[in-house]
Structure 1
């Protein structure tokens, strides 16, 4: 079965997101843990969580892929911004334990002219400060498009972060199709080659989720502009090969395309129609 969902709003709580996912014919979803452009987090209602967990169990939901706010930059040049990032991630991971065993995805950050090596060290240092042995959440580094001073534009940069993390069983990778395409990995002409390179450098066992997006840009543009499925430079055919690839087909796929509720429903239906049993 194709495990697929979209980004939903956390504003109405877990159970409302679960019900919306069912309306979309989804069995997973993503959500921002707090305002994606700010630092405030919505209070968690234990009864709402209990209702959602019952709903998810009844309908066979697979792992959720929560997303950290965009403002969280673990390798910022300013210490106060790194402190905000550390405190935000630590708080988010505590909140994630209300829905145990899921994923927490984040953008590794921008080194802001400190250099990639310094950025990698700072990101790993934050992970070593906030990860704890008893957590059930797996933290995912997201592949990035490479705009500006982003860290994580290559598989080698992600591997360098992973190698510096002490609790390695608590971390993995989320591959964003738009981002890796914009970073220069040709998913259209050489999907097998891209995945072989990922396996050689990082290991496919560390790949836990896919952000499934088309791209408005040419391969290697380093711009990061998502497009609806089949309306970008990657195209429907290549993304269908992604969802059916033997190394990927069992993973949760999250749509981050520029869509509304009906648009997501249509994309999920389209991709399910191309799923190969």
Structure 2
């Protein structure tokens, strides 16, 4: 099983490998810089080489780069679109430098452009990218609050269809649950996975952000809980990690660090739930 967590690159991106090992992970996710500001990745050749070598020696992979929270591909505003495309270009270039397979991004909010207009904006923004060979952009499912897109599987399918890029998908279990896709029982997981396969296609699923939820299904509230201790619960989490169609998909945790429990506790919990 490939399972890991989103770890820090403080002190150099190569430090992420040891941090991943420390929490019991064999794959993982990073930010290349603070996600709260417009900032370029600043990765030296030496640390990039150490990252690649240590990853190859110590981990199963893959790694995922999570793009900045400020990126909004759906926006109708030219200045924000330009900044978003520029930021994404730098992320896919950083991924190539680090030997990372995937760059994960939220579609963003249409802020008045409408669903159809927002999806067109996102697809055309992605089409402006020069994505290096060996790197794939993953569009992430969203909790669906406000005018944010990506909460419906149809949004993901439409962007994949409208874009000229070879796009794939990252599903976040807490976001799916918040957006109204039930995952709290084995039967519900079967139904949701089947719906995703019908609408988007399991062949596009490359990563799962495995997070429990502090809020009820369909509330559009995005707040992560410890594995098995939220409202998805133990039965739902067990069904997800053991579903035959998801067995080979890497699981990346973004669970909280609270109540004396962090990534190590949550990764061990996932391993216990795997039959």
**TM-score normalized with structure 2 length:** 0.95
Q: Does the alignment pair 1:199 with 2:197?
A: yes
Deviation at 1:262, TM superposition (A): 5.8
**Contact conserved, 1:35 with 1:41, CA < 8 A, in 2?**
no
Deviation at 1:238, TM superposition (A): 1.0
In 1: Cα distance, 2:33 partner to 2:262 partner? 24
Q: 1:42 to 1:156 in 2, by over 3 A?
A: closer
Instruction: Specify which of 254, 257, 263 is matched with residue 256 of structure 1.
Output: 254
**Contact conserved, 2:27 with 2:59, CA < 8 A, in 1?**
no
**Contact conserved, 2:143 with 2:175, CA < 8 A, in 1?**
yes
In 1: Cα distance, 2:248 partner to 2:110 partner? 34
Aligned residue pair count: 272
Tell me the equivalent position of 1:52.
51
**Contact conserved, 2:213 with 2:222, CA < 8 A, in 1?**
yes
In 2: Cα distance, 1:52 partner to 1:101 partner? 10
Instruction: Specify which of 137, 154, 157 is matched with residue 155 of structure 2.
Output: 157
In 2: Cα distance, 1:73 partner to 1:127 partner? 11
Tell me the equivalent position of 2:92.
93
* Runs of at least 5 residues in structure 1 that lack an aligned partner in the other structure: none
Tell me the equivalent position of 2:12.
13
Deviation at 1:114, TM superposition (A): 1.4
**Contact conserved, 2:35 with 2:70, CA < 8 A, in 1?**
yes
**Contact conserved, 1:131 with 1:167, CA < 8 A, in 2?**
no
**Contact conserved, 1:11 with 1:42, CA < 8 A, in 2?**
no
**Contact conserved, 1:143 with 1:153, CA < 8 A, in 2?**
yes
Secondary structure at the residue paired with 2:30? strand
Tell me the equivalent position of 2:220.
222
* Runs of at least 5 residues in structure 2 that lack an aligned partner in the other structure: none
Deviation at 1:13, TM superposition (A): 2.0
Q: Which moved more, 1:191-200 or 1:33-42?
A: 33-42
